[in-house]
Structure 1
Amino acid sequence: MSLVSVHNEWDPLEEVVVGTVRGARAPVAVGYAGRTEGAAGACHGRRRDAAPVLWPDRVLKETEEELEELCEELRGLGVTVRRPRTRDRAACADVLGRTDDGRRPRAGLLTVGDTVIETPTALRARFSEPFAYRELLTEYLVSGSRWISAPEPRLTGAMYDLGAPPGERLREREPVFDPANVLRLGTDLLYLVSDSGNELGARWLQSAVGGTYTVHPCRGLHAPTPLDLTLLPLRPGLLLTNPSRVTGGNLPAVLRSWRRIECPEPAGPGGAGDAPHRSTWTGTGLLVVRPGLVVVDGRQRELMRVLERHGVDVLPLRLTHSRLLAGGFHGLVLDVRRTGALETYRF
């Protein structure tokens, strides 16, 4: 029986992969038109051939302890938790500085139904990230799951239009997108067209998942990534939205009948001494454990109050350095299996 089965963002979790920061490095931009996030900042087209930067041991130790706390809480809720194998720092980057440290499983892997998809990232520094999970992917394949990889993008300089407005800087030379560009709503897949995913990426994804699913390209929502910090389904018919990005005019048509909760202005997460490499909205990256229960950054007290007013229980946990490490709970966890069947949610 396939160990992989995910149809949406909210069905009760059965199995997840939680990333690790052991040996983690900050990615760097690689050559002309490199684009990355993290210690180098958002970098479009500026040449920064540099060695990967090691994060402070204190940051890695605190974060790994917090991830283990997340794992224990999930196990206590009956969820099977898998982790990538530990890698030494020297093995976590190739000669081009591309990392595969296992920090964010959702940075290169997307689960749809019984299939794991290795996505064609537009960020050169992320090229090797799925390698940290190859042993787990092989195990899932043997269990009966499908495992497919998108065509490896060349990511030449011609791929990037650095003078274009934000959200339009990827040319249509080849398919590229990140898993964070996609949200699963049963037979409907939302796809963010942005600086991390182009129109060809949406076409490739549609061809990969077949006629059972409809991929909905979403334009004009948010220029960079990810989609989960812009809108996130909490259960059928209930949606958390980022009011700084989502309006009645740009909300995807398939969601316009859903009830919306506007996310309050987030507290600015970050540990002492952290440089703010990501938006404060990183702290709103929720993990839906089941309808009615979400994991949330414990510093987001106003968000927790809003969720509870709408009948959503919260499990507050720590993720002190989420902005420095460029990932909230949603990005650091790959949902491998959720209960439930494939349905269509159009109200």
Structure 2
Amino acid sequence: MTIVSSYNEWDPLEEVIIGTARGAGKLAFEPALAAYYPKADPERGFKGAPYPPEDVERAERQLDTFALALEKEGVTVQRPDPVNHIAPFSTPDFEVANGHAQTCPRDVMLVVGDRIIEVPMAQRGRFFEYRAYRRLVKEYFAGGAQWVAAPRPQLTAETYTEDYTTEDELYDFTTHPALTEFEPLFDAASFTRCGRDIFVQPDVVTNRFGIEWLRRYLGPEFRVRVVEFTDRYPQHIDTTLVPLRPGLALTNPERPFKDDSAKFFADNDWRLVDAVPSVRTGPPTTRDVSNWISMNILMLNPETVVVESAETPLIELFKSLKIDVITVDFDAVFQFGGSFHCCSLDIRRQGELQSYFA
């Protein structure tokens, strides 16, 4: 058995990393966050801060419950080492008031087959986030996994589009990108894996240089396919395009395809199902997560999914698709950066590399 092996989002899950909220901090404003805040927004002056201890404890209890629910299903669960992010740090190129968290391992590392890839993240405050996972990654390497870190970014002023805003012009990968092509940049959660085909949404933390770096590193065995959606400030694909099993995926009806990708899926006999609105759809209570956070689910196998307890309409949709649902309370975790998919990283799933598209 290969200790690390995962090629898609749905094969039976055997081992996973679940994040922790301990040591988390709220990011200070920095250039990578400019798309989310109008130029006159006072939040552009935010200097960073710790989370209230009671918020951390409530989120940690829900993360623990999530871990226990997976263990009851026979999944091996690993947890990162808590790192205190409430401290300033600097490199020769930038300095920040504090870091963020190790709640979302899906953002920091990309698993493709037996490879663990540490990614070059665009947010300065997340530069050292990989440190929380180093003990685990070294253990996986000792067990036979491949381990590589993409080029560490400099994150200088040249990395970011100067004076960026989406107030009057929507984010656009070609005409109005948030990032320059100064260096390769991407978050792992900007990609979703379907065997040999890996789909990537260009967004405010992922540029062409980063996509091309991953394409060349993975080589001809994989096809890295760009899909674009209409979104004011896209970040990560896992509340926009969510594969459930071969031939079936959820899509976000508020973020239609900008290209011909819908036809590409249809031509390959994939059914795209509109997700139902989240019960929390409306003005967001935090800019850390999407109003479509309900779509950020975790498939345990092609017939079983983990969904947030309050999302009754989505639960009913899954039942109509003949998918069993495990519910877990997770609303306290949202403000730390994500839901079930973001807060997990599948290390091993059953199954081998296959092609699900022509």
2:132 maps to 1:127: no
1:95-144 superposed Cα distances (whole Å, 9 cap, x missing partner) = 52352632111121110010000111111111111111010011111111
2:193 maps to 1:184: yes
Matches within 5 A, 1:132-211: 132-161=132-161, 162=164, 165-167=170-172, 168-211=177-220
Amino acid in the other structure paired with 2:89: D
Q: For residue 326 of structure 1, report the CA deviation from its aligned partner.
A: 2.1
1:226 aligned partner: 236
2:323 maps to 1:327: no
Q: 2:316 aligns with which of 295, 305, 311?
A: 305
Q: Secondary structure at the match of 1:120?
A: coil
2:304 maps to 1:293: yes
Gaps of 5+ in 2: 91-95
Distance 1:279 1:50, change over 3 A: closer
Q: For residue 234 of structure 1, report the CA deviation from its aligned partner.
A: 0.4
Q: Secondary structure at the match of 1:314?
A: strand
Q: For residue 26 of structure 1, report the CA deviation from its aligned partner.
A: 1.4
2:271 maps to 1:259: yes
Distance 1:148 1:181, change over 3 A: same
Q: Is the CA contact (8 Å cut-off) linking 1:233 and 1:239 kept in structure 2? A: yes
Gaps of 5+ in 1: none
Amino acid in the other structure paired with 2:65: E
Amino acid in the other structure paired with 2:147: W
Q: For residue 275 of structure 1, report the CA deviation from its aligned partner.
A: 4.3
Aligned length: 339
1:172-229 superposed Cα distances (whole Å, 9 cap, x missing partner) = 1211110111010100110111212111111100111111101112234544211010
1:35 aligned partner: 33
Q: Secondary structure at the match of 2:214?
A: helix
2:252 aligned partner: 242
- The percentage of aligned residue pairs carrying the same residue is 32
Distance 1:248 1:181, change over 3 A: closer
Q: Is the CA contact (8 Å cut-off) linking 2:228 and 2:258 kept in structure 1? A: no
Distance 1:116 1:160, change over 3 A: same
Q: For residue 88 of structure 1, report the CA deviation from its aligned partner.
A: 4.4
Between the aligned partners of 2:85 and 2:309, the Cα distance in structure 1 is: 30
Q: Secondary structure at the match of 2:292?
A: helix
Q: Is the CA contact (8 Å cut-off) linking 2:24 and 2:101 kept in structure 1? A: yes
Task: Give the alignment's Cα RMSD to 1 decimal.
Answer: 2.6
- Normalised by the length of structure 2, the TM-score is 0.87
Q: Secondary structure at the match of 2:315?
A: helix
Amino acid in the other structure paired with 1:35: L
Q: Secondary structure at the match of 2:192?
A: strand
Q: Secondary structure at the match of 1:295?
A: strand
